[in-house]
Amino acid sequence: MASTSTDAGYVTDQEYTRGYYAELNPLRLRLLLLNAGWIPPVIEHACELGFGQGVSVNLHAAASSVSWQGTDFNAAHVAYAREMSRAGDVNIHLADDDFAAFCARDDLPMFDYIALHGIWSWVGDANRRTIIDFISRRLNPGGAVYISYNTSPGWAAMLPVRDLIRAHADVMGSPVGSTATQLEEALAFIERLWQSDPVFARAHPQLQQALAQFKSQDRRYLAHELLNRDWTPMSVTQLGNWLSEARLNYACSAQPLDDLDGLQLSSSQQALLKEISHPLLQAATRDIMTNKRFRRDYWLKGARRLNSLEIADFIRREHIVLLQPADEVALEVRGVHGVAALQRLIYQPLLEVLSDQRVRTIGELEKELHKSGVTFNQLREALMVLIGKGVVMPAQSPRMSALVHNQCERLNEHLCRQAMLGAEMGYLASPVTGGGVSVGVVEQRFLDARRAGMVQPEQWAEAAWSVFMTQGQRLMRNGKPLTSEEENRQALIDQARHFMHARLPLLEKLQIV
């Protein structure tokens, strides 16, 4: 296949998406491990294997004192990631080695934290053995691993279809065509196949919705998901067998909503799980119950348990911040069985306390909520739900935020300037959260105009509109592009005014501005 690396079978002519993954943030790792009853590592050196466009690794390096290393063998990814790191002048070292070369290096430090997002599913067994050996040799005792991967229960029916898409690209795709062309041709073939009413489609009716979603999904993501030579969803028990060779033990999910039984499981399912004491068997059973497609997990080398008093003591010292206006937080959460309402008697007073976006310790929150009758355990669970919803994040101490403020500012200035030049990367670094915060591309253009001395939202809107005009783009409303120049200008003015009054004060509290 002309569009993949000849030795790795990995798509390289399609750059991966510029996404940010909060699960990689060491602050999130620390709080979730504490909540699960484990002693977290003190992280000084961290490594991300297969960092893609380098968004997460750069934002985490800029917004913390952690020294990050990483590798990705897509040269375009590394060039983009290095450009970001130079702009922020952060403590980061990024290589363009393949895993075998990088993991064999003898000039790397011992790491306290190693992260892999998605890569495990997209490499073959030879690379998996290399990664396991690397973790074995380079992860400190007590260190943590984050790993996300496709899981077999939710992907089982899709496996033959994915194999057919890959085979079509190999056999029918143009030998000189791009991955993008091969992907579109293969997807068109699958659509025609489904129109022929195959028995397989009747046996797996849920695939119709999954295939329909392909039409709206980012083609860069789909190319890596569907056209890499290696693509292996596996169960958590299979992964556990691999990681046991590096002496890793399962700790907890990096998405706290996954572990909330009342949200994800029926009463009979909860009763059955309580009969299972083995953590991996319990996790694998849960995945069958919920038809899990993608897992995001933390693992520990030399996992050490805390007792209940220690857990509460450590958690009370952790810092928390709200990421959006309190009145915009929906008091509901979606689980496997639909939408569940959140208890107003707990969440309303909590959000009222957090509404000023001031960083607090969880112990301070506990004291402030005592008068509302909210217990520590209720507060602890509510914070896990709000972290899972993405509206609350662990925060750094004010002292640490001050230490990294300047490098975050440098990186953010660079990213906002790139947004004015047409780049699309919707995150900026926050010294408060120790990582990335969602800031839309249009908002970044407003910020760049503001840094250039423009003070009125109408001026910010005009600066942003100049980029849209240059690129021949239009704003969208209700899924349809605005056609006239007047409509586009007015829509940007409305956005800029809302940004000034609602979003800008929040970004100032998060020290992004």
Per-residue pLDDT of the chain (513 residues; tens, 9 = 90+): 333 333 455 454 445 567 899 999 999 999 999 999 999 999 999 999 999 999 999 999 999 999 999 999 889 999 999 999 999 888 899 999 999 999 999 999 999 999 999 899 989 999 999 999 999 999 999 999 999 999 999 999 999 999 998 889 888 766 556 778 888 888 999 999 999 999 999 999 989 888 888 888 887 778 877 887 788 999 999 999 999 999 999 999 999 999 888 889 999 999 999 999 999 999 999 999 999 999 999 999 999 999 999 999 999 999 999 999 999 999 999 988 889 999 999 999 999 999 999 999 999 999 999 999 999 999 999 999 999 999 999 999 999 999 999 999 999 999 999 999 888 889 999 999 999 999 999 999 999 999 999 999 999 999 999 998 888 888 888 888 888 899 999 999 999 999 999 999 999 999 999
Sorted by where each begins, the domain ranges of the chain are: 22-153+232-301, 162-226, 324-389, 405-509
For the record, the structure tokens of 285 come out as 């059973």
473-500 burial by CB neighbour count: b if 16+ within 10 A, else e? ebbeeeeeebeeeeebbebbbebbeebb
Reduced to 3 states (helix: H, G, I; strand: E, B; else coil), residue 59 is helix
Q: In 66-96, which positions are buried (b, 16+ CB within 10 angstroms) versus exposed (e)?
A: bbbbbbbbbeebbebbbebbebbebbbbbbb
How far is CA 103 from its chain centroid?
A: 24
Spell out a b/e string for 21-46, using b for 16 or more CB atoms within 10 Å of the CB, else e: bbbbbbbbbbbbbbbbbbbbbebebb
**What's the pLDDT at 91?**
83
Angstrom distances, CA of residue 213 to CA of 187, 207, 217, 227, 511: 11, 10, 6, 17, 37
Query: What pLDDT does residue 175 have?
Result: 59
Nearest to 308 by CA among 397, 388, 380, 384: 380
Q: Note the pTM of the prediction, 2 decimals.
A: 0.91
Cα angle 401, 403, 405; round to 5: 65
Report d(CA 211, CA 188) in Å as an integer: 11
Measured distance CA(342)–CA(333) in Å, rounded: 7
pLDDT at site 231: 85
The answer to whether 202 touches 263, Cβ cutoff 8 Å, is no
Which amino acid is located at 511 in the chain? Q
Do the beta carbons of residue 49 and residue 116 sit within 8 Å?
A: yes
Measured on CA atoms in the order 71, 72, 75, 81, is the torsion positive or negative?
negative
Site of tokens 């980029």: 467
- Identify residue 317 by its one-letter amino acid code: R
Around Cβ 370, how many Cβ atoms within 10 Å? 12
| 415 class by beta-carbon count within 10 Å (0-12 exposed, 13-18 middle, 19+ buried) | buried
Q: What is the pLDDT of residues 363-393, one digit of tens each?
A: 999 999 999 999 999 999 999 999 999 999 9
Kindly list the distances between the CA atom of residue 472 and the CA atoms of 448, 475, 496, in Å, as whole numbers in the listed order.
20, 10, 20
pLDDT score for 222: 81
Long-range contacts of 405-410 (CB under 8 A, 24+ apart): 405/431, 405/511, 407/62, 407/88, 407/89, 407/90, 408/62, 408/63, 408/88, 408/511, 408/512, 410/62, 410/87, 410/88, 410/89
The amino acid sitting at 200 is F
As a whole number of angstroms, the distance between CA 300 and CA 304 comes to: 9
E strand or H helix at 115? strand 111-117
CATH topology for 22-153+232-301 is Rossmann fold (3.40.50)
